[in-house]
Chains A and B, each alone.
Chain A
Amino acid sequence: MRPFEYARPQTVDEVVALLDEHGPEAHVLAGGTDLLIGLRHGTIRPRIVVDVKRVAEIRPEIRENEGVLRISATAVLTDVIGDERVQSDFPALVEAAATVGSVAIRNRATLAGNICNASPAADTAPALLVYGAEIDLMSLSGTRRVLLDDFFVGPGETEIQPGEIVTAISLPIPARPVGVAFGRMTRRRGVDLATINLCCLVDSDGVTIFAYGAVGPRPFLVRDETGVLADRGAEERERDAVLREMAGHASPISDVRASAEYRQAMLGVLSRRALGKATDRLAAA
């Protein structure tokens, strides 16, 4: 690993001052499970690493306030999975987070880090997208909130500007009943990146939303407002036609995990399964 300076600020004011001073030569460290690999391979070469784990204002915390669940930037996946409010209001996020890496990875890796790393295959991204997650950002010039759908730009690329830090992920608690299910395909059970992943949300108004991962340069949303998918009495042929149309927005590539054709075919299979599970859950809600 190439040498770098290390700072461990105690307040967000110190963090944004450091990020402002060093610009693109600074890199934020939260869980480090992606960063340390980048540092070792030399793909990330910061002059200074800013460790934010001991910053008072963003200490690990999951808190509900006025219908929004706020997950702080240093909250690790193990804590997200174990949180009762996440389990009751965002069960598909728990399903997704529980598939990331291994126990030891989830004990370090943060939810915010999984989003900031912006892998097209990030397992928590589809769930956060269908739940309408928003990203809280802070810099010397103030704070702003960006919808996750507007946050992803491309592989490894996000809306974060130089000098900015993600302070939290905010999840609006669904006001109406919804059924949500996560789906994922990998080559082996643990410690593998997703070949494809997705999340399906069906609401009581008949709107169905899918978020697809690993089938394009970034995780993305598609919507069906015809009500066909949400209608449990609809003809299978009709539903499949809508699902095919939605999956047509995917642009998968061929790589070591699967061919583009296989990904496209499995997107249909996983979509059908997740839709079935999501509609069952809505019916039971």
Chain B
Amino acid sequence: MKFAHASSLTFTVNGTVHSLDVATHHNLLDVLRDVLELTGTKECCVEGECGACTVLVDGRSVNSCLMLAVEADGREITTVEGLASEGRLSPLQEAFLDEGAVQCGFCIPGQLMSAQELLAKNPHPTVDEVRDGLVGNLCRCAGYQQITAAVLAVAEAADR
């Protein structure tokens, strides 16, 4: 068998199917940002420590810096650009704005994606569950109180 340094990749990103040739050593983050020009997902530590590059892969949050692009073949990816629909922010995004959770904004796409997974699995999290769910997302503005409040607010609003 012969293997190349490039590989074909077919995957769904925010509902759209893409077929690309990618270098096998490029990570998912590189392809999302540099090839698909979806720059909402951020590059920061590139070690899985900060969470700025968090996206959903088949509904589960993943550090896109720690995943080769070719591993996404056949998978369904959701990035922060996939949260809003028809020009309207999602309730979670609205809650982040309402609670003042967005300061410099760099970590927010990752925070949103982790919160998205948390609420999908656990629609009524406690404060501790929110903190554990978002433990992999660092915020250097230290807006943790407001971020936690935003996640709890959208969970409460879903009850009404």
B47-71 interface bits toward A, Cβ cutoff 8 Å, 1 = contact, 0 = none:
1110100100100111101111011
| A229→B4 CA distance, assembly (Å) | 58
Contact of B3 among A5, A32, A39 (CB under 8 A): A5
Interface residue ranges of A1-45 to B (CB < 8 Å): 1-8, 18, 29, 32-33, 36-37, 39-40
Assess the A5–B136 pair: CB atoms within 8 A: no
Measured in the bound complex, the distance between the Cα atoms of B60 and A214 in whole Å is 30
**B25 with A108: CB separation less than 8 A:** no
Q: A2-B25, A7-B1, A37-B47 are in contact. Are A107 and B135 (CB under 8 A)?
A: no
Q: Which residues of B contact A49 (CB under 8 A)?
A: 24, 68
Contact B61 A103 (CB under 8 A): yes
Task: Give the complex CA separation of A218 and B102 in angstroms.
Answer: 43
Q: B70 contacts A32, CB within 8 Å?
A: no
Q: Which chain A residue has the least Cβ–Cβ distance from B61? A: A104
Q: Decide: B24 and A6 in contact? CB cutoff 8 A.
A: yes
Tell me the bound Cα distance from A104 to B3 in angstroms: 30
A110 close to chain B: CB less than 8 A: no
Given contacts A32-B68, A36-B65, A37-B66, contact A104 B5 (CB under 8 A): no
Residues of A within 8 A of B46 (CB): 40
Cβ of A51 within 8 Å of any chain B Cβ, yes or no, is yes
Asked if A101 and B67 sit within 8 Å, CB to CB, the answer is: no
Cβ-based interface call for B41 (8 A): no
Q: CB-nearest residue of chain B relative to A107? A: B60
Chain B proximity mask over A160-203: 1 for CB below 8 Å, otherwise 0: 00000000000000000000000000000111000000000000
Q: Tell me how many residues of A have a C-beta within 8 Å of chain B.
A: 31
State in angstroms the CA–CA spacing of A103 and B134 once bound together: 8
Taking CB atoms, residues of chain A closer than 8 Å to B73 are 8
B117 interfacial by beta-carbon distance below 8 Å: yes
Say what secondary structure dominates the interface of chain B.
mixed
Cβ-neighbour of B66 out of A3, A7, A36, A51 (below 8 A): A36
CB distance from B73 to the nearest CB of A (A): 8
B23 within 8 A of A: yes
Contact with A along B123-158 (1 / 0, CB 8 A): 000000001110111000000000000000000000
Q: How far is the CA of A78 from the CA of B4 in the complex (A)?
A: 32
- B114 within 8 A of partner (CB): yes
Which residue of B is nearest A82, CB measured? B121
The complex places the Cα of A33 from the Cα of B65 at a distance, in Å, of 9
In the assembled complex, A253 has its CB within 8 A of some CB on chain B: no
Contacts of B62 in A (CB 8 A): 104, 107-108
A53 within 8 A of B: yes
- On whether A104 and B48 interact (CB within 8 A), knowing A3-B25, A4-B25, A6-B68, the answer reads yes
Q: With an 8 A cutoff between CB atoms, is A254 at the interface?
A: no
Check: B7 CB closer than 8 A to any chain A CB. yes
B93 at interface (Cβ–Cβ under 8 A)?
Answer: no
Residue B79 at the A interface, CB < 8 A?
Answer: no
**9 pairs of A and B residues whose beta carbons are closest in the complex:** A102-B136, A190-B135, A6-B24, A5-B3, A107-B60, A1-B25, A104-B61, A36-B66, A3-B5
